[in-house]
Amino acid sequence: MIKNALFMAPMTTWSSNADLTVSNEELKYYERRAHNVDYVITGCTFTIRTQQGFPNQFFAGSDDYLESLRSLSQAIHRGGAQAILQVHSPGRMVSPDLQLNPKIDVVDASADFADCLIGTKNRRLGCRATVSFDVKASKLSGFMAA
């Protein structure tokens, strides 16, 4: 990691293709913005098919989507930045557009795999604690509430 690096904050674009792959518009969006920063944190993706948080969120939970994710990484690299994929589990905060969809699980908030993965990575990088807005995650060892 670069000292004093500049990060592009993650922003949700709601612009995936209907099949939940990264759209050409989204690729252009990221490539343009990658010219001015060292790292780009993508809009959030989901890894469990039944836990989509909002319409047009791109998917990263299957090898079938690797080409889509590779194209996103390549677009960011062409812009000159490193890519960081933001993994998201919406819990009970599923978009109202999807809450009535029987294929989507609206579940109580919990410390999920992404929280634990982020916490582990941060500890390996020497961080004493990971700050989280997730109430359950903030009670885990190595976490603290925001």
| pLDDT tens, position by position, 54-109 | 999 999 988 999 999 999 999 999 999 999 999 887 877 888 888 888 888 877 65
* 113 pLDDT above the threshold of 90: no
Average pLDDT over residues 122-141: 81
Domain that includes residue 19, residue range = 7-108
Q: What local confidence, expressed as pLDDT, does residue 108 receive?
A: 64
Contact between 8 and 39 (Cβ < 8 Å): yes
Predicted pLDDT of residue 114: 74
Please tell me whether residues 91 and 21 are part of one structural domain: yes
| pLDDT of res. 95 | 85
Q: Same domain for 95 and 126?
A: no
**pLDDT above 90 (res 7):** yes
CA distance 60 to 83: 14
pTM: 0.73
Q: What's the gap between Cα 56 and its chain centre?
A: 13
- Mean pLDDT of all residues in 101-126: 77
Burial class (CB in 10 A: 0-12, 13-18, 19+), 123: middle
Question: What's the chain's average pLDDT?
Answer: 87
pLDDT confidence bin for 6, thresholds 50/70/90:
very high
CA 126-128-131 angle, to 5 degrees, is: 115
pLDDT at residue number 111: 64
Please report the pLDDT score of residue 110 as a whole number.
Answer: 61
Domain contains 87: yes
- Whether 23 and 55 share a structural domain: yes
* Three-state secondary structure call for residue 75: helix
Task: Provide the domain count of the chain.
Answer: 2
Specify the amino acid at residue 64: D
Percent of residues in the chain assigned helix, strand, coil, to nearest 5: 35, 15, 50
Residues 48 and 69 in one domain: yes
In-domain check, residue 43: yes
Same-domain pairing of 68 and 29: yes
